[in-house]
A and B are shown apart, each in its own frame.
Chain A
Amino acid sequence: MSFDINFIGILIGAIMASSVPLILAACGELITERSGVLNLGVEGMMIIGAISGFALMVVTDNLFLAVMGSMLSGLIISIIFALLTQSLLTNHVATGLALTIFGIGMSAMIGKNFVGIPGKEFPLLFVSLKESVPFFGPIFFGHSIILYFAFLLPFLTNYFLKNTKVGLIVRAVGDSPTSASNQGINVLLVRYSCILYGGAMCGLAGAYLSLIYTPQWIENMTGGRGWIALALVVFATWSPIKVLIGALIFGGITILQLHMQAVGLRIPVQLLSALPYIMTIIVLVVISRDSRKIKLNTPTSLGQIFYKEK
């Protein structure tokens, strides 16, 4: 393996690009879960976002509309989930699973006419700097705007939850919807908003896949990334910064193990393939050992059905 400094920079850039959909979806789901709602439909919302973004790109030839549309469609499909679980009081787990199955089927149906159409070049920023600055160039430059947004998002989310009044309300609703309701907080409004926000972020994560990462539409193209995002939220003990760390470790080891194979290291390939999952769990468990902090971050009412007694 050639270990020149530029190569490492390129590697880090590739790792960052591969973790973007995980960060976006996980940060969205994190807000949803902090309000006490467990939405297992991440994969379904992502794939709907992926096809809507791609379809809009093909139809309108406008990438801005495509990205906005993918967020909107993720949001719209999450309304179904919100209606069912919050207003009709269905079980969160079952409804979320149904949403995923629905999303995958629905996207395949919409996508029938969009198979085999090549994607459009997505504009990348600071491409000239990427080439000219050694090492740091490929890390910081030459990415899409969505990547920069994704890397800002965990910090914004953290700030929002910790330092804003609305963030406090979200956490209050997640910890004890009954007390929050007694304080005069509109629990349903808060939870609806959080679910819809989560849906929009998952839609964006899907659009990143179909418009930027592998610019095309193929059925099932999310390939289980929604489930990994869900797991990240739990293993990161609902902390946005740890979500970012987890996503980078997962993306990093996924890419590194491919390089190790290409170099011809004599490690069993099956072990290498399992490595991202194992390492991400180990690291997140180790950095989240503090049980006091876990208690502080865990939304106590997660997945429980709430209804206001009249």
Chain B
Amino acid sequence: MYKYFLRYVISVLFLLGISGQANAEFKVGFVYVGPTGDHGWTYQHDEGRKAVEAAGIKTTYVESVPEGADAERVIRQLAQSGHDLIFTTSFGYMDPTNKVAKDFPNVKFEHATGYKREHSNVSTYSARFYEGRTLLGHMAGKMTKTNVIGYIASFPIPEVIRGINAMTLAAQKVNPDIKTKIVWVFTWYDPGKESEAAQALIDQGADIIMQHTDSTAPVQVAEKAGVWSFGQASDMQRFAPKSILTSIIDDWAPYYVERSIAARDGTWKQQDTWHGLKEGMVAMAPYNSAMGSDLVKEVEQLQKDLASGKTHSFTGPIYDQKGNILVAAGSVADDGMLAGMNVYVKGVEGDIPQ
């Protein structure tokens, strides 16, 4: 008898628990590809999450989630445990996000840097980092003595190729002799490998080091070797105070706060966001005065022009490596072309890994 009573109590408590969850407060979940302590990509997303929290909305996050099967499990878990809005913050989460979104029509999903919105509850967002790369290219072209720019690349996806191209085009404009040397490390985050890649590029004559990976290792190698470098995703200045000319900063906070509030208040709508310098999703860390006040002024002007739309990172004529025209003289690349970019422009050495 006592046993039955106990079972009754437990099941009542269980039901209460479920109904409690159904009325649970509004919650936002985040899925990160790296650790929040990477001081780069994931760190900046987490800064955005903290801003959402500061706006009075409850958040949770899962860090270091590998792209692939694990990602789907984590996203599904977040959706099941009562999260109303889920940000998935890496390119490789694209398919898992859409897959889970199909099964949870009442949960909203926001996928960073992707292009698939297969269901009405999936939005995508990204930042026009290539605008920042244009500024980097301008500085690199002016500052290099060896005319070799070293570029540490992660994965051959449009996002990364776009950055390489934007940088090269801007550098060529101010210095037609420059060469871009690229090392693919096939990781977003491995300090050891990134520093070895930086060292290899420096040994090959590069006196400018640029990275599309997330750790601070490359800028530290550059500092030690006495060459120039640029920080990635967050202001990495204190890791290489002499070497860093500036950093491209990803500022997700305003977007995260805006979308979270919209979802809570029921005004959330599917959209594809691509913000840049103008909206502040891409920001530049203070410029290093070592490059001279004239160049700083030049770059600041270019930054203003990019933000106002007066200048575009991909203004024709632009040729691919074989000399075929990609963008005609006088016109600019449209967003569709930018989003799917998979060829190098003229002046980049080597092939894109397939």
Contacts and interface: CB of A to CB of B under 8 A. Distances in A.
A266 B35 CA distance: 34
B199 interface: yes
A76 B216 CA distance: 30
Nearest to A222: B192
A281 to B, nearest CB: 19
A286 interface: no
Interface string A1-19: 1100001001100100010
A262 B196 contact: no
Nearest to A18: B196
A273 B354 contact: no
Contact of B353 (A111, A218, A220, A269): A269
B74 interface: no
Contact of B192 (A215, A221, A266): A221
Interface string B179-199: 001111110011111011101
A214 B350 contact: no
Nearest to B239: A118
Interface in B199-226: 199-201, 203-206, 215-217, 220
Nearest to B205: A2
B195 A214 contact: yes
B39 interface: yes
A262 B201 contact: yes
A108 B37 contact: yes
A263 B191 contact: no
Given A118-B238, A118-B239, A262-B201, A219 B192 contact: no
Nearest to A11: B203
Given A219-B38, A270-B353, A262 B183 contact: yes
B190 A223 contact: yes
Given A7-B203, A220-B64, A209 B37 contact: no
A264 B349 contact: yes
A259 to B, nearest CB: 5
B204 A1 contact: yes
A258 B37 contact: no
A264 B217 CA distance: 23
A261 B182 contact: yes
A184 interface: no
A116 B42 CA distance: 13
A225 B192 CA distance: 10
A39 interface: no
Would you list the 6 A-B pairs with minimal beta carbon distance, nearest first?
A: A219-B35, A258-B200, A115-B37, A269-B353, A264-B349, A264-B350
6 contacts: A116-B238, A255-B200, A261-B182, A262-B183, A268-B353, A273-B186
